[in-house]
């Protein structure tokens, strides 16, 4: 995974790092992906505040719509959003909004992405098809995004380019392997998104 170096991205971002008299820049980022892919885990791992979670217990009523084959131990699910915050280098504050993964909650996505600079699309290689709706959504709305393959214990580890080919992800979209449970891994993913968003929409 290539590390993201702010000095190589944008002049304004360099000035944020050196001019401590300026107020921190608040930036909204969306964490999206299919059901049970690790969105809540990522937000929890990196948030410097107690994350806001809208978790509800799984019930028999959801058995017909939520495929638990690859996540048999999952007992709760996000029904509105996850929210967290992380400060990077004292000058850049990221506000993280995790989307619900189930199709019946997709109507919330338009509100959650409003004002965001970009999105992280989490992917589980055991259920690649579950990532298509999120990928299609961000392609259609034009919001910059990166693809982060959340590697689960016991699942086969694929190279980023294999995932890119399997999902037909455009060449300019960063694809990386990460572990949503590890804070440093999640932060590297967020930094990659910030760098990519600056490249795509420097204004």
Q: Which pLDDT tens digits describe the chain residue by residue (203 residues)?
A: 444 333 444 454 444 445 545 567 899 999 999 888 999 999 999 999 988 865 554 444 444 554 555 545 544 444 457 899 999 877 899 999 998 865 655 667 888 899 999 999 999 999 999 999 999 999 999 999 999 999 988 888 999 999 999 999 999 999 999 999 999 999 999 999 999 999 998 76
Q: Is 1 exposed, middle or buried (0-12, 13-18, 19+ CB in 10 A)?
A: middle
d(C-alpha 176, C-alpha 193), whole Å: 11
Asked whether 81 and 107 are in contact (CB, 8 A), the reply is no
Asked whether 33 and 132 are in contact (CB, 8 A), the reply is no
The full DSSP string for 97-124 is EEPP-SGGGGGGHHHHHTT-SEEEEEE-
């Amino acid at each position: 995974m290539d590390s993201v170096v702010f000095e190589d991205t944008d002049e304004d971002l360099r000035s944020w790092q050196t001019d401590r008299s300026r107020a921190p820049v608040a930036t909204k980022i969306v964490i999206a992906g299919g059901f049970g892919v690790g969105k809540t885990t990522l937000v929890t791992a990196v948030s410097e505040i107690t994350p806001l979670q809208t978790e509800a217990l799984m019930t028999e009523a959801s058995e017909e719509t939520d495929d638990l084959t690859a996540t048999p131990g999952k007992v709760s699910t996000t029904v509105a959003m996850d929210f967290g915050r992380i400060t990077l280098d004292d000058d850049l504050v990221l506000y993280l909004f995790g989307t619900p993964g189930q199709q019946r909650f997709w109507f919330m996505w338009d509100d959650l992405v409003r004002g965001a600079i970009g999105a992280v699309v989490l992917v589980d290689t055991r259920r690649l098809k579950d990532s298509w709706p999120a990928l299609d959504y961000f392609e259609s709305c034009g919001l910059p995004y990166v693809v982060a393959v959340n590697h689960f214990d016991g699942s086969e580890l694929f190279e980023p380019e294999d995932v890119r080919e399997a999902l037909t992800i455009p060449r300019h979209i960063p694809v990386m392997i990460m572990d949503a449970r590890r804070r440093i891994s999640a932060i590297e993913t967020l930094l990659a998104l910030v760098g990519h968003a600056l490249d795509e929409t420097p204004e």
